Structure 1
């Protein structure tokens, strides 16, 4: 199994209350039902307000590297990520468990 973690940081001046940001969050939430490779999926807004904190997180899992590749290349994932590129940056970590 591979854990796929993503932490998003909203760009300066961007608020999570903006409709485009809320639409991006909804797009990621919908992936759970759109991408069959996902064996685990959760995403949510950070609840703490610390200077080093990121704003939004995805915690997911897939069976193997091939499934991770299919997930990343899936049109629904690509469309959701494209929305976030407009207002955020992110870091990822993928590891086997």
Structure 2
């Protein structure tokens, strides 16, 4: 099984209360149920205010590398990621569990 962990940092001057950011978060909250092969799906806003903290997280799992590739290439995933390119940067870790 593979854990797919993504941490998002909003760009300078961008607030999570902006309509485009709120819509992006909703899009990710709904994404796990839309893509076949996703075994677990959690999203949420960071609760701490530390300088090293990221703002938003996705914590999900898939069965194997083929399922991860299918998820990443899925049109629903591509549509959910696209708006975030305008207002955030992110880091990803994919590891076996």
Same fold at TM > 0.5: yes
User: 1: CA distance between counterparts of 2:93 and 2:71?
Assistant: 15
User: 2: CA distance between counterparts of 1:58 and 1:30?
Assistant: 11
TM-aligned CA deviation for residue 37 of structure 1: 1.1
Q: How does 1:1-97 map to 2 (within 5 A)?
A: 1-97=1-97
The runs of 4+ residues in structure 1 deviating greater than 3 Å are: none
Q: Which runs of 5+ in 1 are unaligned?
A: none
- What CA RMSD, in Å, does the superposition of the two structures yield over aligned residues? 0.5
TM-score w.r.t. the length of structure 2 is: 0.98
TM-score w.r.t. the length of structure 1 is: 0.98
User: 2: CA distance between counterparts of 1:57 and 1:30?
Assistant: 14
User: 1: CA distance between counterparts of 2:31 and 2:92?
Assistant: 17
TM-aligned CA deviation for residue 36 of structure 1: 1.4
- Deviation sequence 1:5-57 (CA, Å, 0-9, x none): 00000000000000000000000011121011100000000000011100000
Pairs aligned (count): 97
Q: Which runs of 5+ in 2 are unaligned?
A: none
- Deviation sequence 1:51-91 (CA, Å, 0-9, x none): 11000000000000000000000111101110100100000
